[in-house]
A and B are shown apart, each in its own frame.
Chain A
Amino acid sequence: MPSQAEYEADFVQALRQPRIPPPAGVRHPGSQPPALRFGVYRNNVHVSLVEAVTRLYPVVQRLVGEAFFQAVARRFVGQVLPDSPVLIDYGETFPDFLDHFEPAARLPYLGDVARIEWAWHRAYHAQDQTPLPPQALARIPPAQVGHLRLGLHPSLQVLDSPWPALSIWHTNRHDAQVRRIDRDSGGEATLVCRPDMEVLVCAVPLGTAALVRTLSTGAKLEQATTQAVEQPGFNLQTSLVALLSSGGITAFRF
């Protein structure tokens, strides 16, 4: 009799590779091998995980159509199992998978659109924290602003893309009739935050995204600004207003 660990290894192999028959100990008091019965387990595993990915990426599904999406998701699920029972954490690598999925190569922005969907999902489940009110930094003397270190909201994320990924995401997420977007209209940066119950997704200048990335390492505002000004059209004032008004700042210290 195989040990339980051996039995499980054989069981999983047969679950994951339909050509491999169920382990010898799996049978049914009947003459035929219980392929359909074992298939219930195969189906439960794959269908439930494909559904999990489908719930996360509705915009990607709208872009590629249901049949194509189900095929990609099945391929993804066949390669990547959740690494914990917390399915909230499953599907993070799907955007990278799309980047390398050959049949989707003619939609090079797909991965970046998927990254916005994942950021939305992460923001939804992120730790709650009370944001500072929009006026919170108004009384800080201009000379001291550079020395500020900002506490960022746990749900705050910025993404940038060489494609108009946010415009594509926005129309496919919100419009019954999608707007036509010229894919060569240039790159976009996106800010995602959930200050309270609703997830906000908005466009920001590339410089604001760069600023947030440096601030999130704990850098002073001065240092973050030095890096962000390399982006065309960067404006510190506008960036801070955008961050405060989206609830992205929860604390400051010198």
Chain B
Amino acid sequence: MSDLTPPLTLAGPDAVPRSAGVGLKPAHYRTILEQGPDMGWFEIHAENYMGAGGPPHRYLTAIRERYPLSVHGVGLSIGGARALDRRHLSRLADLVRRYRPGLFSEHLAWSTHSSGFLNDLLPLPYTDETLNRVCRHIDQVQEVLGQRLLLENPSTYVHLADSTISEVQFLDAVSHRTGCGLLLDVNNVQVCATNHGFEAQAYLDAFPMNRVTEIHVAGHDQQQDDEGRPLLIDTHDRPATDGVWQLLEHTLTLTGPLPVLIEWDNDIPSWSALFDESRRAQRLLDRHIQHPEAGHALAS
């Protein structure tokens, strides 16, 4: 811990509330501290705060004093064939000790290979082999961090012929075997439904909603694949589409209110535009808070 950035005075994690949050971006640090906006919580990408010190930690500490925090890892490579990188795991443990996040999440994907870190969330086949490995990795993460992990459903662009288990069954099995929660990214559901030609709503209806502890909402780009069919790309660089908002609404009728994050990581908008996008999520949440019987109890 640095001399200049005093340790947090918080005794433990603040629970992330069942309200709208946004990804924390350096461009918004000052505005957030000056205006103290009515935002339920913030989420950071863990790897962006793995430098030793400097302004990022200074701002994050000040913001964490005022708001609950969720830490979202993008580099653990939980779905990879290799053993987890112990140094990276220990960096994560340091970050979790330092900032005491209410939630910690990672992806069902791989990104590290012997040739280096590939900085993308790459797809894995869903088989008994990968299921066992993902469960071992998650057991290890939860043990080292002393905190429950939430595993996120990925955006994928190709079909893997070796898969023998559906994605929903895979996530359900991982969650039951390891006790981990699930982070449901409704934009990823929309992206995959279009790319692989299934009904997004059917995916949601099959999803183990009682394991879901957080929801992501984001924007995507639309291109075309080799045969001229629509190909959606998970870009996080624009507002979510109406289709994605409808999936959020449908999900909330199944789960009741949950923490909902607006994920906007590229072409970062002004604070007020990002805030407005989060209010759209909050209005949907408010409707479900007023009618709590629509949802069911959260597993925890």
Contact = CB atoms under 8 A, between A and B. Distances in A.
A232 interface: no
B227 interface: yes
A128 B111 contact: no
Given A81-B118, A84-B88, A127 B47 contact: no
A12 B55 CA distance: 35
Interface string A116-154: 000000001111111000000000000000000000001
A154 to B, nearest CB: 7
A196 interface: yes
A86 B162 contact: no
Contacts of A35: 226
B51 A1 contact: no
A129 B80 CA distance: 38
Contact of B87 (A80, A84, A125): A84
B2 A82 contact: no
Contacts of B54: 124-126, 128, 194
Given A81-B117, A83-B116, A26 B160 contact: yes
Contacts of B229: 30
Nearest to B159: A28
A16 B197 CA distance: 28
A45 B130 contact: no
Given A3-B129, A22-B158, A32-B227, A40 B88 contact: no
Contact of B117 (A16, A85, A125): A85
B57 A85 contact: no
Contact of B115 (A16, A29, A84, A87): A16
A85 B74 contact: yes
Size category of the binding interface on chain B: 35 or more
Nearest to B88: A85
A80 B117 CA distance: 10
Interface residues of A, number: 55
B226 A30 contact: yes
Interface in A37-55: 37-38, 40-41, 44-45, 48-49, 52
Contacts of A44: 119-120
A8 interface: yes
Interface in A96-121: none
B171 interface: no
Interface of B: 2-5, 47-48, 50-58, 74-77, 80-82, 85, 87-88, 91, 110-113, 115-120, 122, 124-125, 127, 129-130, 133, 157-162, 195, 197, 223-227, 229, 231, 233
30 contacts: A3-B129, A4-B125, A4-B130, A9-B113, A26-B160, A27-B161, A31-B227, A34-B226, A40-B231, A41-B122, A84-B75, A84-B85, A85-B76, A85-B77, A85-B88, A85-B117, A86-B50, A86-B51, A86-B75, A87-B48, A87-B119, A88-B47, A88-B50, A124-B51, A124-B54, A128-B5, A129-B2, A129-B3, A129-B4, A130-B3
Given A2-B162, A12-B113, A125-B52, 18 more contacts: A3-B81, A5-B81, A8-B80, A11-B122, A12-B118, A26-B158, A29-B159, A52-B119, A81-B118, A84-B85, A85-B75, A85-B112, A125-B53, A126-B51, A128-B2, A128-B4, A196-B4, A197-B55
Q: Which 9 A-B pairs have the closest CB atoms?
A: A85-B75, A81-B116, A125-B51, A128-B2, A128-B53, A127-B52, A128-B4, A44-B120, A4-B81
